[in-house]
Structure 1
Amino acid sequence: MRTAARLIFALTAVFSITGMICATISSIDATQYQIAALGDGLDPAVFRSAYERVINVYSYFTVQSNLLVTLVSIALLINPQRASTVFRVARLTSLGAILITALVYNLVLLPLAPPHGFALFFNVLLHMVVPLFAVLGWLAWGPRIPFQWNYIWLSLLFAVWWIGVALIRGAIIHWYNYPFIDVNKLGYGRVALNTAAIAVAYVLILMAVLGVDEKLSSRGALHQ
């Protein structure tokens, strides 16, 4: 069982790292106008250099959630039974973030701008394959996380931090990562509603993850 768990955790990390490397390579080859268009921005001047385009890749919630999943997967690969408070919060945050990534991309962003070619390959990895493997690994091998509200509030800090940085950065460079937080077009009122809706969905996902973990823990205890 432990060998199978390590295999899934390893594959999750490999798929995530591969997707992020491919996204980075794509940004180097892309034009400043192509990068600007991804966020529905108006001024591509800030992405004139390859360095600026590469740095921008790691400002996306998708990539940051994949980074977190990668770190957690590597930690579980080394020790599948980790159970510290810090790790539990990191594990819960990685699951909540990658599930939000999958849901928002596939339900909201994908219909707006379907990727093609090389972009299709790494977008499938980052938004579909990694979330699937992360969830499968969690459901099958845990480690289980007890339902505690402080885990949820601590995990929520990750989403609040990302939104705050994205809005501050966007106000400075006049470009936003995603159309639904584009203050230039929507205004702060609409953006506040959009981000609040996503934050609520994120908290509900965290609650669902902990609820499922509680059920699985109880079922495991009954079979012992």
Structure 2
Amino acid sequence: MRARTTFGALRLATAAVCLTALVHRLFWGLSSQTIAGRNFFAYLTVESNCALVVLLIIGGVLAFRSAEDPRWFSIALSLVLTWTITAGLAFALIVWQAGLRGIRVDVPWSDQVLHFWLPAFTAIAWTLTPGHRSVPWWIIPCSLAFPLVWGGVTMWRGPMIGWYPYYFLDLRQVSGFGEFAVTSALALAIFALVATVLAVISRVSPSRRKRVSRSAARAGTARAT
């Protein structure tokens, strides 16, 4: 239980760091006086990290109160981590491609935290957190629901305001519909791959094996008595 308490505190601390980074990124964007700054909540990264803050707070409380996470929490966390981790990978690719094209992309510390450090830390925690539950395979297709809905709203809204949160969604900034379709399909494939990896980890992680061993030991003791 001591390990659960420690990870509960880490969850709450991570939520505080994530919230701080979101607030800094909001005001940093507003200070730029651009349409991107005024559309802070249109980014998939921002929306998924807002959900992550809520889940980490809930997870911290759960860790203090029980030895295991309920299955619904593990499922919800796996979905949100799929979105935040994939958003981080996509952002890294965007920054890399922008550099190849000679386009300047400013990356404040809050962006680095949201796109790189938090996804890496939460991925490690997903493997090590005690009391974790395995998640069903159906999280893989379900993980695509949010990106698809978000993409549909973004493509509907983009022409009306003349702006898109990511350049590859804007047909004016790519070679045509073909590049848009290929890039979008690749992004969805990455979402599915990340969800698959998280599902596999939930079944083979050290914390999962320890929980199964304890359950088997308790069952053996019960039969012996």
TM-score with structure 2 length normalisation? Answer: 0.80
Q: Select the structure of larger CA radius of gyration.
A: 2
SS at structure 1 position matched to 2:163 = coil
Q: Structure 2 regions of 5+ residues with no counterpart?
A: 99-103, 218-225
**Deviation of the 1:18 alpha carbon:** 0.8
Partner of 1:208: 197
CA distance in 2: counterparts of 1:64 and 1:177, whole angstroms: 12
Partner of 2:149: 161
Matched, 1:120 2:103: no
Q: Assess, with a 3 A threshold, how the Cα gap between structure 1 residues 185 and 11 changes in structure 2: closer, same or farther.
A: same
CA distance in 2: counterparts of 1:166 and 1:203, whole angstroms: 20
Alignment of 1:125-164 (within 5 A): 125-141=113-129, 143-164=131-152
Partner of 1:82: 69
Matched, 1:101 2:116: no
Q: Assess, with a 3 A threshold, how the Cα gap between structure 1 residues 132 and 142 changes in structure 2: closer, same or farther.
A: farther
Alignment of 1:57-72 (within 5 A): 57-72=40-55
The amino acid that maps onto 1:20 is L
TM-score with structure 1 length normalisation? Answer: 0.80
Q: Structure 1 regions of 5+ residues with no counterpart?
A: 37-52
CA distance in 1: counterparts of 2:22 and 2:156, whole angstroms: 24
Partner of 2:179: 190
The amino acid that maps onto 2:23 is I
SS at structure 2 position matched to 1:203 = helix
CA distance in 2: counterparts of 1:7 and 1:76, whole angstroms: 10
Identity %, equivalent residues: 22
CA contact (8 A) 2:74 2:135 kept: no
Matched, 1:22 2:15: no
Aligned residue pair count: 201
**Deviation of the 1:130 alpha carbon:** 1.6
**Deviation of the 1:89 alpha carbon:** 3.2
CA contact (8 A) 2:143 2:191 kept: no
Q: State the structure with bigger RCO (CA 8 A, min sep 6), 1 or 2.
A: 1
CA contact (8 A) 1:62 1:101 kept: yes
SS at structure 2 position matched to 1:79 = helix
Q: Assess, with a 3 A threshold, how the Cα gap between structure 1 residues 127 and 209 changes in structure 2: closer, same or farther.
A: same
CA contact (8 A) 2:52 2:80 kept: yes
The amino acid that maps onto 2:94 is V
C-alpha RMSD of matched pairs (Å): 2.1
Q: Choose 206-215 or 133-142, whichever is displaced more.
A: 133-142
Among 10, 13, 19, the residue aligned to 1:11: 13
CA contact (8 A) 1:90 1:155 kept: no
Partner of 1:180: 168
Partner of 1:170: 158
SS at structure 1 position matched to 2:42 = coil
**Deviation of the 1:107 alpha carbon:** 3.0
